[in-house]
Structure 1
């Protein structure tokens, strides 16, 4: 089958649905890839790079006439007419608010897969274009904020004085919010973030932010992955949090966008309470904006000097990386739709991921899809505890094993003591002295080493190396003895002491290397 990648025609759009790298991966799946000439130029992908990856350059009509067409934005009516009956379209379509488009595609007999309708479950994360776009937008929001803010994000201490770090307040800790938290933190700002879902506190802190805890303004997560609607009391408490934090912030980034709708989180009064020179970056401008003063697509200045950035093309302002990630999402989707890796797409409507993003098929409108729960895992069954009789029997068996072990240990100790007494009784006076010294050395050494803290074991090696050196010298003096037993013991002592010395010096060398700062 043939995959077509046409150029985007929306005004100002710089993205493309495939990068040269993703084209090569699609070809490995068995597909033939055709791409409209010049489609990737705005994303810094040259036609020659696509040809090198194995794609064929074609005109717009040929790209739209392929078996499978993938693009970033929804097609216009003129482009829908170029789609052949039975073709598959893979694009973002906003099916929840674009019923006319879905109906047109169904009437055309096109199988339409909406990339922005991927179910929010773990298995579908690799093809979740919304997460890809949100991640880029969150990062770019910080760049736009830094551009419009009249100071540095990080604090500075110089001979001329010091500057305080910027305070950044982020509303929402979804993919975009977390990306913004990470970017702002890496620039040295003091980042505070709030989300109505309390379970994201750990994620916020892991990205370098401080979670604004306001239990009276928070709600639990719902079955579709979004936060449940707030009650009137919770909404009022949340608005109070927004007002307080925004008044103390230099930069505010809003990210609340649910199914294309942007709730108001920053009112005109909140903007009026912010400091002159502050910046608001509204990531929900495409849905009307979280800020009451946002003008989608533009940057405006409030009466009190607050800059409000309402760009709707943040992802297009980073076209190279966004297109690369978008193309990777397409590759993961086509890998799911091509189980045989033979270039033949197979749509399985029994698969909840494929069904969830299928909005038109075989002349029928398939939107909305059946609901999908966040987790299909069954609830864990509580393990039944043991009965009192079983616990008593277990305790009895454990006691018997302990008694048997103690008896066996006592017998071994007794046998060892008898053997030691016999050895002493049958040995001459010099041997008895040596054995006594050996026994005392073992006892003293055991208690000395066992009572040393683990953190001191490495420094202790310097002392043990010295002792091992003495042992090595003594062993070398005795290794030539005429007595075979003395000579054998001397050889063993020399070998063990040498291993201990070299090993000790190696560990000490590595430890010292940890504190050495290379020039």
Structure 2
């Protein structure tokens, strides 16, 4: 079997393989072809892939591949090039754009959407959303620090004592927890809020303060995501957060609802209470609509009051090399888990919980239950 590692579009610096994962694939008995300059954005030269056992090829070689690994969803014309019966694994963002599903089905390609990976213990090693979210949380702190006119740690100087910066993290999932941990390591004073009271202990264990806002009955889904709030609960949440935001130097919003637009958490009226120079890093700005009114993916917007809103768009590119390492490891973990050593192939058992959760198309049809009738 031949595995093809695709080069991403220019704006995407990550790559779906690193030399170590190439070696793992070769040890399984797979032939690995890497598209020319696929790793340039992650500072991985072609020679490093060749040394690991891969062959460097042009883009047309994708038509010969049995397995295609990439980060982002491919363009329509690329799907048409894929070999019948091939397996394609990447982020596909199916809730925002389900149109590629029909193209994959027409091409008789088995497409795996990494966003749909079940949130189970067994699938944890393949969970690319979580691995990339940890990079995003880390990068958000650095972006906020770079944009803020304040330093993070307390400093005792001959000129006097400089107080630590105040960070407020909204949403305590993987990205939020990493943001809290990173800001604390750099010396900031950190507060955090989440609609799931169960995460308060995790926040406190990192040395941060958990902000209590009474929203009534709350909880989380079976997959571990926060449940969607009612309009009344959202308004109570905004009122409770407004005071904390007004006293914060950097606010990081991470709230996403799986398969639905991100909730609007910070309104323009709330931003008016923040001091000039304050920074908001909106990790949900793309592609789910954003947590902050006025945020724009990939842009920094400055309000009339001087508050900077950084709308993140693939923030994982901030640390592309390590993001690629984690992402590539998730992919190889998936392949190794379903590798049939005797048949020397990847076994797609549709009765398997993991495969059933993330396999979108197979044998010429859209097979995922959420999209089969779309």
TM-score bracket, normalised by the shorter chain, equals: over 0.9
- Which is richer in strand? 2
Question: How many angstroms does 1:367 deviate by?
Answer: 2.4
Contact 1:157 1:163 survives alignment (8 Å): yes
* Larger helix percent: 1
- Show CA shifts across 1:309-335 (max 9, x none): 012021112110000101000110001
Matching residue of 1:299? 300
Q: Indicate conservation of the 8 Å contact 1:217/1:237, yes or no.
A: no
**TM-score normalised according to structure 2 size:** 0.95
Per the alignment, residue 283 of structure 1 pairs with 283
Q: 1:62 & 1:129 partners in 2: Cα distance? A: 26
Residue equivalent to 2:334: 333
Q: 1:207 to 1:23 in 2, by over 3 A?
A: same
SS at match of 1:105: helix
The answer as to 2:30 corresponding to 1:14 is no
Runs of 5+ unmatched residues, structure 2: none
Higher Rg of the two aligned structures: 1
Q: Secondary structure at the match of 2:81?
A: coil
Q: Provide the rounded CA distance (Å) in 1 between the counterparts of 2:245 and 2:80.
A: 49
* Residue 225 of structure 1, CA deviation: 2.2
- Is 1:274 the counterpart of 2:274? The answer is yes
What is the CA–CA distance in structure 2 between the aligned matches of 1:62 and 1:250, rounded to whole Å?
50
Distance in 1 of aligned mates of 2:38 and 2:364: 30
* 2:5 matched residue in structure 1: 5
User: TM-score normalized by structure 1?
Assistant: 0.69
Q: Identify the residue that residue 487 of structure 1 maps to in structure 2.
A: none
- Please give the secondary structure, in 2, of the residue aligned with 1:285: coil
Q: Does the C-alpha gap of structure 1 residues 209 and 35 become closer, same or farther in structure 2, counting only changes over 3 Å?
A: same
Q: Gaps spanning 5+ residues in structure 1: where? A: 371-519
Find the aligned partners of 1:302 and 1:233 in 2 and give their Cα distance: 27
- Conserved in 2, the CA contact under 8 Å of 1:29 and 1:342? no
Cα offsets for 1:116-174 (capped at 9, x unmatched): 11011121111111101111011000000000000101111111111110110010000
Deviations 1:455-502 (A, max 9, x none): xxxxxxxxxxxxxxxxxxxxxxxxxxxxxxxxxxxxxxxxxxxxxxxx
Higher relative contact order (CA 8 A, sep 6+): 2
Equivalent residue number for residue 88 of structure 1: 87
Show the counterpart of 1:181: 180
Instruction: State the number of aligned residues.
Output: 369
Shift of residue 231 of structure 1?
A: 3.1
**1:340 and 1:74 mapped to 2: Cα distance?**
29
Query: Which residue of the partner structure matches residue 322 of structure 2?
Result: 321
CA RMSD in angstroms comes to 1.5
1:93–1:360 Cα change, 3 Å? same
| Alpha-carbon distance between aligned partners in 2 of 1:216 and 1:344, rounded to the nearest angstrom | 50
Instruction: Show CA shifts across 1:378-432 (max 9, x none).
Output: xxxxxxxxxxxxxxxxxxxxxxxxxxxxxxxxxxxxxxxxxxxxxxxxxxxxxxx
